């Protein structure tokens, strides 16, 4: 798994490539929590490069969105492949998180 963080104004865009599963979810959780604890309340997770997400990956997203919302922010997934979007949908995450078709629209969805 590869994780790259880019700042776009006050929004942190966390781009993830590879599989997010029991082996790699801890690394993703640490990266996301590091952003929130470092002051980034508004996060976009670019999952265009994620080819598989297990329940461990879903837990990483859930923990992060809870933490971000406590700080007055949010976590917004973007650019999910159809197979990952299906996992998000079947698990009910599309009712918890706003999922965007691309990173630009997710970043733009946060107040200026």
Please give the pLDDT value at position 79: 98
The predicted pLDDT at position 7 comes to 97
Residue range 2-97 in CATH 3.30.750.24: yes
pLDDT the model gives residue 78: 98
Q: Where are the domains of the chain?
A: 2-97
Of the candidates 50, 64, 3, 53, which has an alpha carbon nearest to the alpha carbon of residue 23?
53
Whole-number pLDDT of residue 112: 80
Distance between CA 53 and CA 24 in Å, rounded?
A: 10
Residues with pLDDT less than 50, the chain: none
């Amino acid at each position: 798994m590869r994780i790259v963080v880019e700042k776009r104004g006050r929004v942190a865009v966390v781009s993830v490539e590879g599989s997010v599963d029991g082996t790699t979810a801890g690394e993703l959780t640490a990266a996301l929590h590091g952003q929130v604890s470092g002051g980034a309340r508004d996060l976009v997770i670019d999952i265009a490069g994620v080819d598989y997400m297990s329940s461990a990956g879903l837990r990483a997203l859930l923990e992060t969105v809870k933490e971000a919302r406590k700080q007055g922010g949010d976590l917004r997934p973007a650019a999910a492949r159809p197979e990952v979007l299906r996992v998000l949908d079947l698990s009910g995450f599309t009712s918890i998180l706003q999922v965007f078709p691309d990173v630009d629209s997710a970043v733009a969805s946060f107040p200026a």
